[in-house]
Amino acid sequence: MPIRPAMAGDLPGLVEVSLASFEPITWQQEVDRRFGPLNGHDWRERWRRRVEKAFAEQTILVLEEEGRILGYGCGTVDATIGLGHIDILAVDPAAQGKGYGLLLLRAMEEHFLGRGASHVTLESLTDNETANALYRREGYQDLARHINWFKKIERR
Ligand SMILES: CC(C)(COP(=O)(O)OP(=O)(O)OC[C@H]1O[C@@H](n2cnc3c(N)ncnc32)[C@H](O)[C@@H]1OP(=O)(O)O)[C@@H](O)C(=O)NCCC(=O)NCCS
């Protein structure tokens, strides 16, 4: 299965895969449930903006079959400290469980190695069992857990 760098025209497909794959797990939906859309922007629009930003600023590797994007990984590398960061890894739900996530993860690692990195880091939700099983099996170590705090602010 060929993996290639993202190119102009990929953005709609990347957004589509992101929304479909993260819908069951993203904590952004909890924001909508508790606080409502932010300035009228629901989790889908916020995710779209996140992918647009990644498209502009990060390296994106795309897994494609017959012109359709099945999954992608994106991230950045800080060559000074030799650290790669995977920001998003996503495989379309219909294509999950076939080894594509693993292929993309390894392709991102290869990319980082080529840019002078010696280590890689990423974040996942504690209850994202599929992703966590993948990372654990690939030798990633669980170093720290975060809390996503959220609050509506008002003038006092
Ligand atoms: C996480 C994700 C990218 C994995 O992609 P995938 O193509 O489904 O994964 P693979 O088929 O390569 O599976 C790799 C390993 O993941 C684990 N895995 C895959 N599907 C699983 C499932 N349903 N339950 C438990 N573990 C699973 C297994 O360890 C599997 O290895 P194995 O098939 O040898 O047992 C994909 O599930 C996804 O897009 N999820 C939603 C978005 C997401 O969570 N991204 C990561 C955020 S940090």
Distant-in-sequence, close-in-space partners of 74: CB < 8 Å, separation ≥ 6: 6, 54, 58, 59, 60, 61, 86, 87, 88, 108
According to the model, what pLDDT value does residue 1 have?
A: 74
Atom of ligand 1 nearest to the CA of 123: 48
Tell me the backbone φ, ψ of residue 60, rounded to 5 degrees.
Answer: -120, 130
Dist CA 28 CA 92 (whole Å): 19
- What is the CA(140)–ligand 1 centre distance, in A? 14
Which one, of 103, 26, 37, lies nearest residue 64 by Cα? 103
Tens digit of pLDDT for each residue in 35-72?
A: 999 999 999 999 999 999 999 999 999 999 999 999 99
Enter the pTM of the model: 0.94
- Cβ of 73 below 6 Å from ligand 1: no
Low-confidence ranges of the chain (pLDDT < 50): none
Walk me through the domains of the chain, giving residue ranges and CATH numbers: 3-137 (3.40.630.30)
14: DSSP letter: H
User: What is the best residue among 130, 136, 137 to mutate for testing ligand 1's pocket, by most ligand atoms within 8 Å of CB?
Assistant: 130
| Structure-token match 């999950």, residue found | 96
- Cβ of 107 below 6 Å from ligand 1: no
The one-letter amino acid code at 28 reads Q
Token pair for 117? 């990195």
